[in-house]
């Protein structure tokens, strides 16, 4: 049960977008080069963010991506689900129904007890991600990343934003 690497990429890209000056766009190319990622494939992750309305786009030179909402209005779960999908990690195939001792038309009132427990764990995972906002990440990063690296990173990135 491993998350797509695009989840990691999307989170790091959102952190960068959150630190951009108001209104500025950043292209796939710039984000890919900053993180050392394959441009064409990273593009798919960014498209997922766009479809989830987490980012806005514009075309042409000086085009690219920017956040559609303030970083405090975006949580981790939104980003993760945008690229990973909203499906639960445990899928119940209802194998209890194969029990030969069950009467033919027997219909269960509740979902499987095993599935309920697995889905509860899934919800705990989602709750944790839902509670962390993108702005929290940006706060942590600006504390932990040395100020000069932090600053030069955005200079580097803005130079590529036209």
Partner DNA sequence: GAATTAAGGATATATCATATCCGAAAACCG
Partner DNA sequence: CGGTTTTCGGATATGATATATCCTTAATTC
Interaction site with DNA (CB under 7 A): 4-6, 27-29, 38, 40-41, 43-44, 46-47, 50-51, 57-65, 162
The option from DNA, a copy of itself, none interacting with 15 (CB < 5 to 8 A, set by class) reads a copy of itself
Residue 58 C-beta: closest distance to DNA, Å: 5
Provide the β-strand partners of residue 66: 56
Alpha-carbon distances, residue 112 vs 4, 103, 125, 152 (angstroms)? 28, 17, 20, 54
The option from DNA, a copy of itself, none interacting with 140 (CB < 5 to 8 A, set by class) reads a copy of itself
83 contacts 45 by C-beta, under 8 angstroms: yes
Q: 60 or 155, CB closer to a copy of itself?
A: 155
Instruction: Outline where the chain has alpha helix (H).
Output: 5-18, 28-35, 39-51, 76-84, 113-131, 134-144, 147-159
User: Which part of the chain contacts a copy of itself (CB under 8 A), choosing from 18-26, 52-60, 64-72, 137-145?
Assistant: 137-145
Residue corresponding to tokens 């030969």 = 100
54 contacts 14 by C-beta, under 8 angstroms: yes
Which residues sit at the interface with a copy of itself, rule CB under 8 A? 1-5, 7-9, 11-12, 15, 33-37, 76, 84, 87, 89-93, 95-96, 98-103, 106, 110, 113-114, 117-118, 120-122, 124-129, 132, 137, 140-141, 144, 149, 152-153, 156
């Amino acid at each position: 049960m491993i998350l797509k690497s695009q989840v990691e990429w999307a989170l790091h890209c959102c952190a960068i977008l959150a630190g951009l000056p108001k209104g500025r766009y950043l292209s796939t190319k710039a984000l890919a080069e900053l993180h050392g990622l394959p441009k064409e494939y990273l593009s798919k992750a960014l498209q997922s963010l766009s479809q989830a309305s987490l980012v806005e786009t514009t075309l042409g030179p000086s085009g690219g991506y920017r956040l559609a909402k303030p970083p405090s209005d975006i949580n981790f779960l939104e980003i993760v689900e945008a690229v990973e999908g909203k499906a639960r990690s445990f899928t119940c195939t209802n194998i209890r129904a194969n029990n030969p001792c069950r009467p033919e038309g027997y219909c269960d009132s509740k979902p499987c007890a095993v599935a309920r427990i697995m889905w509860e764990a899934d919800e705990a995972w989602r709750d944790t991600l839902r509670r962390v906002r993108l702005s929290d990440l940006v706060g942590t990063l600006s504390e932990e990343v040395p100020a000069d690296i932090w600053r030069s990173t955005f200079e580097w990135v803005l130079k590529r934003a036209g």
